Amino acid sequence: TEAKRTHKITLIPGDGIGPEVSGAVVKILETAGAATGVSFDWHTYDAGADAFAKTGEYIPKALYESIEQNKVALKGPVTTPIGGGFASINVTLRKKFDLYSNFRPIKNLPGLKTNYPGVDLIIVRENTEDLYAGLELMIVPGVAQSLKIITEKGSTRISKFAFEYARKFGRKKIHAIHKANIMKVTDGLFLDCARKVAAGFPEVTYAEHIVDNTCMQLVMNPYQYDVILTENLYGDILSDLCSAFVGGLGLVPGANLGLDCAIFEAVHGSAPDIAGKDMANPTALLQSAILMLRHIDEAETADLVQKALEAVYTEGKTLTKDVGGTSGTKAFADAVVAAL
Ligand code: NAD
């Protein structure tokens, strides 16, 4: 028999619904791994307000070191205070590890009816700059400023990521999404870089859409898009819009990828409205974990989990409330475990 492979993975359960969805995902991965000869050595850390209460640091030094060593993390959502308080943990981690690419596949699950069947598009979002860097100041009382920094380096590397992905996985079309009619310098630079990269990939069709029009185009006909390449803030907003095609935020996974490290997390946040109620859908984090398994070359385990997840949706009997079911987080996770 095959020797057991062990992966050291940094686990940030997060807060709000984070502990519930990450608990479900860990259980499913442990079960799948037991069947395929893979085991996980989870290095678990708090972040955000919970970490501050325990260690006096929002991101404990030990957490940084753990990600540096393990290179791979699975992360639940972390609450960010609105209009004040500490800086976003998510943004801080993405910047610290230079996780410049945020990869978000939007694909319907079999058996789950939505108003948009058969959507299969990918959002590639620049993940380190733009207004999302949160470089803000109050210039004088009553006048606030936010710095939108767009660089040639940042725009070129995210464009390369999108085109190389398209080439590798046979994607046909890339739309760069922008507002360069108004932000001529920043979004203009982003487009210049995208165009230069596009020239090296003649087999991939390159097009450009303005972001407000894109919102309408997506709602009218998402099938016209294949890969969406965009800056940080537009990518953030378009991701939530696109999640509705496949059943909402409870479904859509994400990967934050850098040259050295990767952090896998759902698109959704900590969902305080349903936290602690056994209502959260762990599918988004589970699909993020499937991306993680592929990233660490555990395709067999990834396929196994994917098949079990699809079986539960196809059967449609043990689904969470956000997708029209009546089951809780735990019952859903148990159904996936049973399907394994
Ligand atoms: P949210 O994504 O937490 O919730 C939006 C809506 O979607 C809510 O009605 C929620 O109940 C629902 N929802 C989200 N995930 C769900 C799931 N798995 N199952 C079922 N329903 C789900 O967005 P928000 O309310 O705007 O943000 C809450 C907090 O999360 C904020 O502090 C925000 O900063 C933070 N946030 C964190 C991350 C992250 O950690 N990566 C991402 C986005 C938002």
Give whole-number Cα distances, 27 to 89, 209, 270, 320, 336, in Å: 25, 42, 20, 17, 10
Q: Are 193 and 152 in contact (CB under 8 A)?
A: yes
Give residue for tokens 């994400």.
Answer: 254
Q: In whole angstroms, what is the distance from residue 260 CA to residue 99 CA?
A: 8
CA 169 to chain CA centroid, nearest Å: 19
Q: Indicate the SS3 state at residue 298.
A: coil
Pocket test for ligand 1, best of 103, 249, 265 (most atoms within 8 A of CB): 249
pLDDT per residue of the chain (340 residues) written in tens, 0 to 9: 456 899 999 999 999 999 999 999 999 999 999 999 999 999 999 999 989 999 999 999 999 999 999 999 999 999 998 888 888 999 999 999 999 999 999 999 999 999 999 999 999 999 999 999 889 999 999 999 999 999 999 999 999 999 999 999 999 999 999 999 999 999 999 999 999 999 999 999 999 999 999 999 999 999 999 999 999 999 999 999 999 999 999 999 999 999 999 999 999 999 999 999 999 999 999 999 999 999 999 999 999 999 999 999 999 999 999 999 999 999 999 999 999 9
- Indicate which residue's Cα is closest to atom 38 of ligand 1: 269
Question: In this predicted structure, what is the pLDDT of residue 121?
Answer: 98
Q: Indicate the SS3 state at residue 197.
A: helix
Give whole-number Cα distances, 283 to 54, 267, 286, in Å: 29, 11, 5
Q: In whole angstroms, what is the distance from residue 13 CA to residue 283 CA?
A: 15
The single-letter DSSP state of residue 84 is: S
Q: Put residue 50 in one of left, alpha, beta given phi > 0 → left and psi -120 to 50 → alpha.
A: alpha
Ligand 1 lined by 79 (C-beta under 6 Å): yes
Pocket test for ligand 1, best of 17, 99, 246, 270 (most atoms within 8 A of CB): 270
Ligand 1 lined by 77 (C-beta under 6 Å): yes
For 217, the enclosing helix (H) or strand (E) is: helix 211-220
Q: Are 148 and 130 in contact (CB under 8 A)?
A: yes
Q: Is 56 exposed, middle or buried (0-12, 13-18, 19+ CB in 10 A)?
A: exposed
Question: In this predicted structure, what is the pLDDT of residue 3?
Answer: 62
The single-letter DSSP state of residue 223 is: G
Burial 16-53 (b: 16+ CB within 10 A, else e): bbbbbbbbbbbbbbebbbeebebebebbebbbbbbbee
The catalytic residue positions are 132, 179, 212, 236
Question: In this predicted structure, what is the pLDDT of residue 2?
Answer: 57
Give the ligand 1 atom nearest the CA of 88.
34
CA 126 to chain CA centroid, nearest Å: 12
Q: In whole angstroms, what is the distance from residue 134 CA to residue 91 CA?
A: 9
- Indicate which residue's Cα is closest to atom 43 of ligand 1: 269
Q: Indicate the SS3 state at residue 227.
A: strand
Question: In this predicted structure, what is the pLDDT of residue 1?
Answer: 46
Ligand 1 lined by 274 (C-beta under 6 Å): yes
| Residue 271 CA to ligand 1 centre (angstroms) | 4
